[in-house]
Amino acid sequence: MEVMIGLEVHCQLDTKSKLFCSDSTDHHGKPPNADTCPICLGFPGSKPKVNKKAIDYAIMIGMALNCKIAERMWFSRKTYFYPDLPKNFQITQYEVPVASDGYLNVGSSRIRIRRVHIEEDPARLVHMGGDITSAEYVLIDYNRSGTPLAEIVTEPDFKNTKDVRAFLQKLASMLEHLGVYDSSEEGSLRIDANVSIEGGERVEVKNISGFENVEKALNYEIVRQNGMRRMEVEVERETRHFDAESRTTKSLRKKETEDEYGYIFEPDLPEIHINGNWMENVRSAMPELPDQRVARFVREYGLTDYSAGVIVYTDKRLADFFEGCCRIYGRPAEVANWTINYLLKSLNWRSERIGASKVREETFVELLQMIDSGEITERYAKELIKEYVDSGESPRKIVGMEGDGGAAPLEEAVAKVAAENRAAVEELRAGKGEVMGFLIGRVLAETGKRGDPKAIREAIMNYLNGPEAGMPR
């Protein structure tokens, strides 16, 4: 059975103030309802005023998605009664969005973009004693109310969930490179996913955060709808919620039609004309986009299309990190190899993005330089990188190669192990090389697995050949 999936991606625009008032959009560490005013609280008589930066960002997004930019646009009122909208309507765009009829190429597929429009974010609901379907009561924080959103609506061009995830990853990378949203902010990218099977009724799964959760929600919904069709149960048009813990969707309400929202022209805001000079100023301010950056990585650093794509589309900060490493270490292929195959794996294990990690360009390059110089083996470096990502410390410090004015930790460990295993040391001195593995293992245990086996072997031989061994020759 053919699956049809369309997306509505809500991106919180990274402006300093809200869409229709001057309240701050930075609520970190502030109590609920601290960043509010009569406009974003919907007080009678309050008048909104448009944030031009939000429109600039939306135009930029439309250009990056190959859209047509509207020469004239206006805002509308979308009426619905819900506690997160105190004035009982949302100011959005309906008849004429800021951008439309675009596309984004993902692999060999072209995903059509129906529209990009601007709207205000509602307040944040805090469900107490359960989730959205089972909470005992709900608290409302209006700090978020009025934050500018760009909604990116696709055509139902997706046939499977893996393509959905690939699209979202590329779209997020594009938005990061444009600098229009902060990916570290919780809920800065939220997705409504619409899915139907073989022309059946469309079901919307609302407000999903995280690309993995989008994939899980859609996989569950496809299985659910397929099961209903096999049992000849009609799939109803409705809005559902994804429960990340149970990995299931739950019914919220019957899906409204467009007519039920009662769209009308927003009388408190003027019609906006976007002329050629405005568009040219926005276009000239646009940074390098992900596809352009991938092509440059291939051209300048000699990477494969695959390696460049992984680095760029995974995270803009990862691409910045890669270029920073290349500026201080002249082997980009090695940087790419260790970044993709080992650094990313360790970060993913910690569910951590590089921007929030302790990893730094200088210390990561230090690890690669230690391999080049023979201070550590590649095999050991693959283990060392895990501890490096955990601690962020200098790799040389981790393996005990940085002196502190006294004996190096590795030398102390070798002396202690030799003193506790004199029989094994005598066997090694007598030419029984197979005992070396045992001694290396004991030293690793003593150092908490800190140290390179090659360096430990050398330290043991130095100990045996030195007078500090304190053993008969």
Rounded Cα gap, residues 207 and 164, in angstroms: 15
Residue 180 has pLDDT above 70, yes or no: yes
Rounded Cα gap, residues 469 and 415, in angstroms: 7
| Burial of 248 per CB tally in 10 Å (0-12, 13-18, 19+) | middle
Rounded Cα gap, residues 28 and 40, in angstroms: 18
| Confidence category of residue 407, pLDDT binned at 50, 70, 90 | very low
- The separation between CA 391 and the C-alpha centre of its own chain, rounded to angstroms, equals 22
The closest alpha carbon to 204, from 221, 228, 187, 229, belongs to 221
Of 83-87, 404-408, 414-418, 441-445, the poorest mean pLDDT is in 404-408
The closest alpha carbon to 442, from 471, 463, 470, belongs to 463
Residue 374 has pLDDT above 90, yes or no: no
Phi and psi at residue 6, to the nearest 5°: -125, 155
What are the residue boundaries of the structural domains of the chain, listed by start?
3-282, 290-398, 409-469
The structure's pTM equals 0.84
Three-class secondary structure of residue 354 per DSSP: helix
More confident residue, 186 or 36: 36
| Confidence category of residue 472, pLDDT binned at 50, 70, 90 | very low
Write down the number of H helices and E strands in the chain: 16, 16
Residue 405 has pLDDT above 50, yes or no: no
CA 228-230-235 angle, to 5 degrees, is 30
| Confidence category of residue 162, pLDDT binned at 50, 70, 90 | very high
Class of 409-469 per CATH? Answer: mainly alpha
Taking residues 433-448, report their average pLDDT. 79
- In this structure, the chain runs to a length of 473
> In 231-289, where does DSSP find H-type helix?
276-284
Q: Determine how many CB atoms are found less than 10 A away from the CB of residue 339.
A: 24
Residue 193 has pLDDT above 70, yes or no: yes
Q: What is the pLDDT of residues 86-125, one digit of tens each?
A: 899 999 999 999 999 999 999 889 999 999 999 999 999 9
Rounded Cα gap, residues 110 and 95, in angstroms: 25
More confident residue, 21 or 456: 21
Look up residue 338 and give its two tokens.
């260790």
In sequence order, what DSSP letters do the residues of 113-130 get, joined into one string?
EEEEEEEE--PEEEEETS
**Residue that is written with structure tokens 């596309």 in the block:** 103
Look up residue 349 and give its two tokens.
């294990």
Rounded Cα gap, residues 115 and 335, in angstroms: 39
CA 118-119-122 angle, to 5 degrees, is 155
Side-chain-side CA neighbours of 335 within 13 Å: the count stands at 28
Of 22-31, 157-166, 424-433, the poorest mean pLDDT is in 424-433
Do residues 370 and 450 make contact, with C-beta atoms less than 8 angstroms apart? Answer: no
CA 209-313-241 angle, to 5 degrees, is 15
What one-character DSSP code corresponds to residue 28?
A: T
Rounded Cα gap, residues 236 and 251, in angstroms: 10
